[in-house]
Amino acid sequence: MHETDMTKALILTVRDWWEAQPERPQISQIHLTVGRFTCVEPASLQFAFEVQTQNSFLQGAKLVIRETPLIAFCHRCQQEYQPEIGIQYACPTCGSPMEDIRSGRELKIERIEYEQFNYMS
């Protein structure tokens, strides 16, 4: 469900961009950064994207997902560490609870690739 709603939001964002383009280009790829801590399953996202873009302006476009790890920063130890999602979030050195997340919550469109129109005859 989570992924379905997110895909809707993603498509709306891309559509806003696309409708603002004078040429309405054919979009070939959407590059997305997804943090591990968003709990978004890339496979589910891919599936939702394929279903929701059928017969739309995004038909045939590919979703390229880059995952970023969860990285936290421990202020007591002054160092970064990688919590194990769902298992252990505290600092492995001193046991302080996770409070400062440096990476892993991203969910953003990195770039959109589209076909350049070619007017050469």
Which residues make up each annotated binding site for Zn(2+)? Answer: 74, 77, 91, 94
Q: Which residue has the tokens 């992924």?
A: 3
Stretch that binds Zn ion, among 32-40, 58-66, 90-98, 106-114 (CB under 5 A): 90-98
Q: Is 89 exposed, middle or buried (0-12, 13-18, 19+ CB in 10 A)?
A: middle
Q: Which of residues 27-46 bind Zn ion (CB under 5 A)?
A: none
How many residues contact Zn ion, by CB under 5 A? 7
What single DSSP character describes residue 55? Answer: T
Regarding 102 and contact with Zn ion (CB under 5 A), the answer is no
Regarding 91 and contact with Zn ion (CB under 5 A), the answer is yes
Regarding 76 and contact with Zn ion (CB under 5 A), the answer is yes
Stretch that binds Zn ion, among 12-20, 63-71, 74-82, 101-109 (CB under 5 A): 74-82
Shortest distance, CB of residue 75 to Zn ion, whole angstroms? Answer: 8
Which ranges in the chain belong to alpha helices (H)?
Answer: 2-19, 42-53
Report the candidate in 12, 3, 62, 13 with the shortest Cα–Cα distance to residue 38: 3
Strand bridging mode 71-74 / 101-103: antiparallel
- The footprint of Zn ion (CB under 5 A) covers 74, 76-77, 91, 93-94, 96
